[in-house]
Chain A
Amino acid sequence: MSDTQQKRIKIEVLRYRPEQDKEPVWQSFDVPYTDDMSVLQGVQYIKDELDGSLSFRWSCRMAICGSCGMMIDGKPKLSCKTFLRDYAGQTLRVEALAHFPIERDLVVGLEDFMDKLESIKPYIVPKEARTLAQGEYLQTPAERDQYEQFSSCINCTLCYAACPQYGMDSKFMGPGVLALLHRYNADSRDGAQAERMEIVGAEEGVWNCTAVAYCSEVCPKGVDPAKAVNLNKVNSAKAYFFGLPGKKEAAK
């Protein structure tokens, strides 16, 4: 950088240290920055130079690991993909992802999300058992298009921080998990649709969604969870009236 004046930004972080704080408190830091610095780098500067006790998650720094989601100026964002320069001249507030319990500082408890993720069987359950000699499971490009966008999910949970329904009642499966559920249900090679539709049609499933659709707005990967959820309202209604696909076979 050619300019001699070092740019600075005031970053307020919502701190929560369970051993000493009864509730979260804002703490202010004065951080020097350059135009190429992400919010994550700003928070890392705080930890390295100003207060080593600050806790947060991060890993890849390039918007693919899904670890560094935070409320940045009140919006759920990946802190590695958000730049300090865009908040120049204002106080930047950084808070743990909304709707999740805060474990410590910017770290939230994710076990509820993980349990939900596990429950939907987020993997392909082969429709038919095949031997190696029979070769691979074939799929046309059109069949792949049915699930491709939903497979871009990186489990960053920004969509949960955007979903007031999940915030008010965490029994709701939520946008991300339902989008991943759809990713596998929409895969022509998968044979576990009937099992997953039980989750879709349950009280905690898609019908808890009121189509706020902020989840799709904040998704850093263009997954559009609101679409997956609302598509499955149609699927759930179909299953209610016409039965579940593959259910009869399972009953035999």
Chain B
Amino acid sequence: MSKLTAGTANRKPFKRPMAGWYKRDPFFVRYMWREVTALAVLLYAIVLMVGVLRLSQGEAAFNGWLAALGSPLSIVFHLVLLVAMVYHVYTWFEVMPKTMPLLYAGGKRVADATIMRGGIVAAIVTNLALLALVWGMRP
């Protein structure tokens, strides 16, 4: 027994239930969406890995995979994945400043918002560069 509880026999502390806690506050709802959208990253990784597997099985198999990607259902699926991943990237950089040591530039603390914006800009630039590279390598 803690020092603070000594001599208090009539206590009947009430512990409130936690069921449905994630619906209690909009902040928690956003957090759950952040966690759920991580699954979009997993799903897209699986789609790509299937592509690699089909590639190892020969040209016909790979072309079949490419054709499947072009189906309307696949395009809708990829659009959903894209939205989820964009949201996930945003939340990822939102958390990033919390995981970094205190940064100083010119004697002043670098603000969390600046670090977050830096991350988002880096993500946009690398993605555009990758797109340009793929576009340039078209057959």
Residues of A bordering B, CB below 8 Å: 16, 18-19, 23-24, 74-75, 98-99, 101-103, 109-111, 114-115, 142, 145-146, 164, 167-168, 210-214, 216-217, 224, 226-227, 230-231, 233-234
Contact = CB atoms under 8 A, between A and B. Distances in A.
Contact of A114 (B4, B27, B31, B104): B4
Classify the interface of chain A: helix, strand, loop or mixed.
Answer: mixed
A227 B14 contact: no
A146 B10 contact: no
Contacts of A212: 27-28, 31
Contact of B31 (A18, A145, A214): A214
B25 A74 contact: yes
Contacts of A115: 2
A18 B14 contact: yes
Contacts of B27: 212, 214, 217
Given A75-B25, A111-B5, A164-B28, A24 B14 contact: yes
Contacts of B11: 18, 103, 109
A75 B99 CA distance: 25
B101 A231 contact: yes
B86 interface: no
Contact of A98 (B10, B13, B16, B102): B16
24 contacts: A16-B14, A19-B10, A24-B14, A98-B16, A101-B14, A103-B13, A109-B13, A111-B2, A145-B104, A164-B18, A164-B22, A167-B21, A168-B18, A210-B35, A211-B95, A212-B27, A213-B31, A214-B25, A216-B98, A227-B98, A230-B95, A230-B98, A230-B99, A231-B101
B18 A18 contact: no
B25 A111 contact: no
B97 to A, nearest CB: 7
A211 B98 contact: yes
Shortest 9 CB-CB distances between A and B: which pairs?
A101-B13, A18-B12, A111-B2, A230-B99, A111-B4, A102-B14, A227-B98, A230-B98, A226-B98
B109 interface: yes
Contacts of B138: none
A110 B98 contact: no
A74 B27 CA distance: 12
Contacts of A226: 98
Nearest to B96: A230
Given A111-B4, A164-B18, A18 B102 contact: no
Nearest to A115: B2
A22 B101 CA distance: 48
Given A103-B13, A231-B101, 10 more contacts: A18-B11, A102-B15, A110-B4, A145-B102, A210-B35, A211-B98, A211-B99, A212-B28, A231-B99, A234-B101
A14 to B, nearest CB: 9
Interface in B98-114: 98-102, 104, 109
A11 to B, nearest CB: 20
Interface string B17-50: 0100110110110010001000000000000000
